[in-house]
Chains A and B, each alone.
Chain A
């Protein structure tokens, strides 16, 4: 078990390095450099003293060869120093740390909502014996997946903020401000959870062991919750792990739509001004979260299904 976790953490380090390198290469390939972009912002670039520009570039290391830049930045990243933001001059780590709580609240609330609503919908849809209700409920997830997030956001804001005036449309103020963006973010995620869980619940309910349970005299609720759900939860858990990545990506849109200060907003802003250190910091941080969440998911598997041996080193099982 410990050996497995250590191996997985080593793999995680590899993933982080790859994410760092890839983002570095992509950003380096983009035309222009952050110093010129920053200097050009809001004023006439010809007014800038070229010598001053060179000095700034030298300060940030942009005048060195790419490879040297890469090694320099990687070296300090390993020490936890992702450099300073080009646009604000603050350390990248503190920029991320400041924005993190807002985003964690948002994505955490959205993940919880998605799991509860999506899982609940799947349970009710597969439990009900009313054909029309089942059909209606099972058609909702595909709708939720196919509608663009920003559109859902705008509609929800229109309805609940402007018409009903229940929740604030913008800003970061407390729990009330969290409701609309979290719901918006949870819609596509919850829809996917519902799709996968409903499918695997229906599959599980067809399994012979369910027949055995019914032959024992078990009622519908016992069969559904006591036998089918745990067997069906594995695929749903896998999807939830993968959806964390999607949540972080969607947070960029949602935080922009709802004007919330968070990692998403920072990312969007940093990309538009080519604030290289911040973008890289966010990418590596996102990869870290993703890798850790999926490690946790893998560690939960054996708790749900005793057949899953976490430390398995078997390449091919006997025929």
Chain B
């Protein structure tokens, strides 16, 4: 990943030019870069805004203390943006919360100091910390949809900060709250202040939370994954606004993120965290262009928003459906389970290959809305006139933001929801109104992989029971042959047979999603709907699971209807892409065409929402916008 010389040269220059105090940058940067010798740096603390030295945090568990943060040093200078990057479980959130003493139950600071404005926050009492929280350090939480009190009006919640710290009177607080909401970038702030959280979109709620964080004009804001729960186009606006406010108010920002692309775009300095330690820190350009630590290098390779510039296997560029099935390079042994379920497999090469596996015609789904006072019944058109086809062995990606109707469309195809109008044909069989035995046949041919592997596996089942449940449901085989099938499937998803008797809770997220994939494939279906299958996983695990999906497709000829909001993921897996917005498909096309020459404005907006840094890299990379040219180097 270090072969982008041209572009790395102009990066630091432009960044320094943009920063208000370019002269001091170099000096500030040097402190943390070479800073694991905590004692030595101790007397530096007065200079910076925040100076963490040798901080260790652990959680009490039944099996003894579990270290989450170990001997971390971190500095934040006044007014600068520092990104703390790491995967889930790296301890980055724990570190961020330990600063303001907001550790979850069982969390405890074991050692180290957190010097902020001349005081060691680690030694303050709860009462003293309260005077810091909200007033001196603001916190923008991770998920805006659950971080506002649902039973209180927005304005009241913003005004509460001012009231707690006695920065406003009962009279003036509501007015100031409105001004703060406006400052946080909310249109019509007077109306928003009177609304409840559920009446606002996720992006609007995050702006309200930003208003809360900046209310008391704190010296520092800790932003803990502030956009990971938001749509991509909204993400960028929110980050822009945080950056803008930080500049305007001279507030420092500690930006906690799993996305190196986001960090690269926003931060002056980056600290990379792994397994409770900061493995590398330094100026952004240095981290990106010459990462020293192997972990940073790996993170750089798999960063989701950077993945666009990654190699894409050549096979992905042409849908295999265009080539006849025999031409597929799948070993015969792997083709067996497929032949077992589709009796027409023998005839397939001649005629069936031409016929799409799934045909969806003018699909419409309307949901009734609550009656308004005196109004007549209204409906929400979640899916509006959607038509597409999925060929055998092909991956069609449905891309869109939340509320675009992509998940509803997937559920319609699976007949988990009944359509209001339109037609769904699976393998030549019109299943739009299928009931009873025909519906059960559809259930057998079409399976689903859900977004959250933490929720989609029954915690009381063993892995064997999870995988064999579809087989039991359809009465396939006897106990012994089902177990053999489960073992075979586990092997296919690269899990050892030893997990058969374990419970989902004993597996990692990536392993669980592999189990979910094995379950989906148990009945050898022709279609698997993947509903955001990797968005709950860490970046490096995402890449592995996507590869697995691609391999399984090559082996079994299964077709995927792949639902995602993440264009980078889609680019890696899909043959064709359909972009959805407000219930309609606005653009459909082969993946490469769509990425290189998007025709619809909305597609362009989605592409632009990908962090700029990676776009610049992409533009600068050889082959100019044809990243497939790098080809074949995928791990």
Which of A214, A231, A314 is the most central at the interface, judged by chain B CB atoms within 10 Å of its CB? A214
Residues of A within 8 A of B209 (CB): 212
Closest residue of A by beta carbon distance from B153: A306
Q: Does B454 contact A (CB under 8 A)?
A: no
CA distance A62 to B367 in the complex (A): 55
CA distance A139 to B251 in the complex (A): 48
Closest residue of B by beta carbon distance from A209: B149
Residues of B within 8 A of A213 (CB): 149, 160
Contact B212–A212 (Cβ < 8 Å): yes
Q: Does A315 contact B (CB under 8 A)?
A: yes
Contact A311–B149 (Cβ < 8 Å): no
CA distance A230 to B153 in the complex (A): 13
Contact A208–B368 (Cβ < 8 Å): no
Q: A211-B102, A216-B160 are in contact. Are A314 and B370 (CB under 8 A)?
A: yes
Going nearest first, the 7 A-B pairs with the smallest beta carbon separation are A217-B134, A215-B139, A216-B134, A217-B133, A306-B196, A318-B367, A208-B147
**Shortest CB distance A8–B (Å):** 15
Q: Which residues 274-319 of A have a CB within 8 angstroms of B?
A: 304-307, 309, 311-319
CA distance A227 to B367 in the complex (A): 33
Could you list which residues of chain A lie within 8 angstroms of chain B, going by C-beta atoms?
1, 207-209, 211-219, 222, 226-227, 230-231, 304-307, 309, 311-319
Contact of B151 among A215, A222, A231, A316 (CB under 8 A): A231
Could you list which residues of chain B lie within 8 angstroms of chain A, going by C-beta atoms?
100, 102, 127, 130-135, 138-139, 141-143, 146-152, 160-161, 164-165, 196, 198, 209, 212-213, 367-371, 373, 377, 380, 382, 407-408, 411, 417
Residues of B within 8 A of A315 (CB): 368
Contact B132–A217 (Cβ < 8 Å): yes
CA distance A228 to B247 in the complex (A): 35
CA distance A231 to B148 in the complex (A): 12
Residues of B within 8 A of A219 (CB): 127, 130, 164
Residues of A within 8 A of B417 (CB): 319
Contact of A230 among B130, B151, B367, B370 (CB under 8 A): B151
CA distance A311 to B371 in the complex (A): 7
CA distance A101 to B371 in the complex (A): 41
Closest residue of B by beta carbon distance from A316: B367
**Shortest CB distance A250–B (Å):** 32
Residues of B within 8 A of A209 (CB): 146-150
Residues of B within 8 A of A316 (CB): 367
Closest residue of A by beta carbon distance from B416: A319
Closest residue of B by beta carbon distance from A313: B371
**Shortest CB distance A80–B (Å):** 35
Q: A208-B141, A318-B408 are in contact. Are A215 and B368 (CB under 8 A)?
A: no
CA distance A94 to B161 in the complex (A): 59
Contact B100–A215 (Cβ < 8 Å): yes
CA distance A144 to B102 in the complex (A): 36
Closest residue of A by beta carbon distance from B138: A215
Other than A208-B142, A215-B134, give 17 A-B pairs with Cβ distance below 8 A.
A208-B147, A209-B150, A211-B102, A212-B209, A213-B160, A215-B100, A216-B161, A217-B130, A218-B164, A219-B127, A231-B150, A304-B151, A306-B150, A306-B151, A307-B198, A314-B369, A318-B408
CA distance A208 to B371 in the complex (A): 31
**Shortest CB distance B177–A (Å):** 12
Contact of A215 among B133, B146, B152, B369 (CB under 8 A): B133
Residues of B within 8 A of A312 (CB): 370
Residues of B within 8 A of A318 (CB): 367, 380, 382, 408
**Shortest CB distance B269–A (Å):** 24
CA distance A93 to B147 in the complex (A): 54
CA distance A213 to B156 in the complex (A): 12
Q: List 22 A-B contacts (CB under 8 A).
A: A1-B373, A207-B146, A208-B143, A209-B148, A211-B102, A212-B148, A215-B102, A215-B134, A215-B139, A215-B213, A216-B133, A216-B134, A216-B160, A216-B161, A216-B212, A306-B150, A306-B198, A307-B198, A313-B371, A315-B368, A318-B367, A319-B382
Residues of B within 8 A of A230 (CB): 151
Residues of B within 8 A of A317 (CB): 367
Contact A215–B373 (Cβ < 8 Å): no
- How many pairs, one residue from A and one from B, have CB atoms within 8 Å of each other in the complex? 99
**Shortest CB distance B236–A (Å):** 23
Contact of B407 among A207, A313, A319 (CB under 8 A): A319
Closest residue of A by beta carbon distance from B164: A217
Which of A209, A214, A304, A318 is the most central at the interface, judged by chain B CB atoms within 10 Å of its CB? A318
Contact B151–A313 (Cβ < 8 Å): no
Residues of A within 8 A of B139 (CB): 212, 215
Contact of A305 among B127, B133, B150, B373 (CB under 8 A): B150
Contact A231–B149 (Cβ < 8 Å): yes
Residues of A within 8 A of B367 (CB): 314, 316-318
CA distance A215 to B130 in the complex (A): 8
Contact of B149 among A215, A227, A313 (CB under 8 A): A227
Closest residue of A by beta carbon distance from B150: A307
CA distance A208 to B225 in the complex (A): 14
Contact of B141 among A211, A218, A227, A307 (CB under 8 A): A211
Closest residue of B by beta carbon distance from A213: B149
**Shortest CB distance A235–B (Å):** 14
**Shortest CB distance A314–B (Å):** 6
Residues of A within 8 A of B152 (CB): 227
Residues of B within 8 A of A313 (CB): 368, 370-371, 377
Contact B161–A217 (Cβ < 8 Å): yes
CA distance A175 to B417 in the complex (A): 60
Residues of A within 8 A of B380 (CB): 318
Q: A307-B198, A314-B369 are in contact. Are A208 and B130 (CB under 8 A)?
A: no
**Shortest CB distance B420–A (Å):** 12
CA distance A314 to B209 in the complex (A): 30
Contact A208–B146 (Cβ < 8 Å): yes
**Shortest CB distance B523–A (Å):** 24
CA distance A139 to B487 in the complex (A): 46
CA distance A313 to B382 in the complex (A): 18
**Shortest CB distance A304–B (Å):** 7
Contact A217–B368 (Cβ < 8 Å): no
Residues of A within 8 A of B368 (CB): 313-315
**Shortest CB distance A298–B (Å):** 15
CA distance A222 to B408 in the complex (A): 41
Q: A312-B370, A313-B371, A319-B407 are in contact. Are A211 and B132 (CB under 8 A)?
A: no
CA distance A202 to B133 in the complex (A): 23
CA distance A222 to B160 in the complex (A): 10
Residues of A within 8 A of B198 (CB): 306-307
**Shortest CB distance A197–B (Å):** 16
CA distance A310 to B213 in the complex (A): 34
CA distance A227 to B149 in the complex (A): 7
**Shortest CB distance B68–A (Å):** 17
Residues of B within 8 A of A222 (CB): 164
CA distance A213 to B212 in the complex (A): 10
Contact B150–A217 (Cβ < 8 Å): no
CA distance A311 to B148 in the complex (A): 25
CA distance A117 to B323 in the complex (A): 75
CA distance A84 to B133 in the complex (A): 71
CA distance A316 to B407 in the complex (A): 15
Residues of B within 8 A of A309 (CB): 370
CA distance A246 to B141 in the complex (A): 44
Residues of A within 8 A of B165 (CB): 217
Which of A1, A227, A231, A306 is the most central at the interface, judged by chain B CB atoms within 10 Å of its CB? A306
Which of B151, B209, B408 is the most central at the interface, judged by chain A CB atoms within 10 Å of its CB? B151
Contact A319–B134 (Cβ < 8 Å): no
Residues of B within 8 A of A215 (CB): 100, 102, 133-134, 138-139, 141, 213
Residues of A within 8 A of B138 (CB): 215
**Shortest CB distance A232–B (Å):** 10
CA distance A213 to B134 in the complex (A): 9
Closest residue of A by beta carbon distance from B374: A3
Contact A212–B141 (Cβ < 8 Å): yes
CA distance A254 to B236 in the complex (A): 66
**Shortest CB distance A103–B (Å):** 35
Contact of B133 among A214, A226, A314 (CB under 8 A): A214
Residues of B within 8 A of A305 (CB): 150-151
